[in-house]
Structure 1
Amino acid sequence: MTLLSIPTWMIHIASVTEWIIAIWLVWTYAEVSKRNYWKVLSFAMLPSLASAACACIWHFFDNLPSLDWLVTIQATLTLLGNSTLCLAGRHIFRHSTSQSIAKPNTELSKLS
């Protein structure tokens, strides 16, 4: 565990921690707002979290050449995570626009 400095480890750990918190916050938002279609985003964030875990594990073991396969898995999970996040954004957009079309804004209709 000597290759990375303490501040760099702090950033790595903070990034993973805030990603976990973000997943939890998105899930909580879906529950509180009754917009369950947002839960898809929580699941879509998991490959990126796993990717970060792979990077931390690889660095923890001083970037051992025998663990180079973790780099490949990390890159694959990053690609998968970016793709699932994109699809989750599309899913949220479709559901939010279909609900706004189904339920016109009553505040705007009161103004006219």
Structure 2
Amino acid sequence: MAPLPPLRLVAAAPPSPPPPRRPPPPSAARLASGVAFGAAAAAAVAAAASPPALAALAEPANALSLPTWAVHVSSVVEWVTAMALVWDYGERTGLKGWKGLSWGMVPLLGGAMCACTWHFFYNSESLEVLVALQGALTVIGNITMCIAAYRIFKATQQSSKKLQW
């Protein structure tokens, strides 16, 4: 068994004299001082970590932030939910045009998936084709939804003519 390498001491400070006794601060000040202490401790740990370890955890400058990812993912979930609700409405009412609208929404979902995939790989230049594919799917999706909406309009007009005496 190989001997362990010696431990390195990163920083050492001489002990300081105890601070004078003061009355405890109010709760908000106590919380703020705890947050400041936690931030200082985290900074000290980060400073003590070796540079290669930090470089492995760093993301590129064009990485999406967590809130931006939340918007992207929730938009896709919202779109899939809307597609399911439109399909369900078409089944419950028996109007096939609404199911057609749900099918017309599929290309736009594909475009959203292209965008999320491209961002997942940090907008890699080797995946630039996804940007063009997203644009094409958006155009196709807008056309298919327009056709589906027109078909719903026509079906509604025909059914209202049948109801008139």
TM-score normalised by structure 2 residue count: 0.61
d(CA) in 1 for partners of 2:136 and 2:79? 18
Q: In terms of Rg, which structure is larger?
A: 2
Q: Hey, what does 1:59 align to over in structure 2?
A: 119
d(CA) in 2 for partners of 1:36 and 1:68? 37
Q: Indicate the structure with greater helix content.
A: 1
Instruction: Show structure 1 runs of 4+ deviating over 4 A.
Output: none
Name which structure has the greater RCO, CA cutoff 8 Å, separation 6+: 1
State the one-letter code of the partner of 1:98: Q
Q: Percent identity?
A: 45
1:12 positional shift: 0.2
Unaligned runs of 5+ in 1: none
TM-score normalised by structure 1 residue count: 0.89
1:38 positional shift: 1.0
Q: Alignment partner of 2:128: what SS?
A: helix
d(CA) in 2 for partners of 1:34 and 1:14? 30
Bigger Cα displacement from structure 2, 38-47 vs 2-11: 2-11
State the one-letter code of the partner of 1:38: W
d(CA) in 2 for partners of 1:15 and 1:76? 19
Unaligned runs of 5+ in 2: 1-58
- Cα root mean square deviation, aligned: 1.3
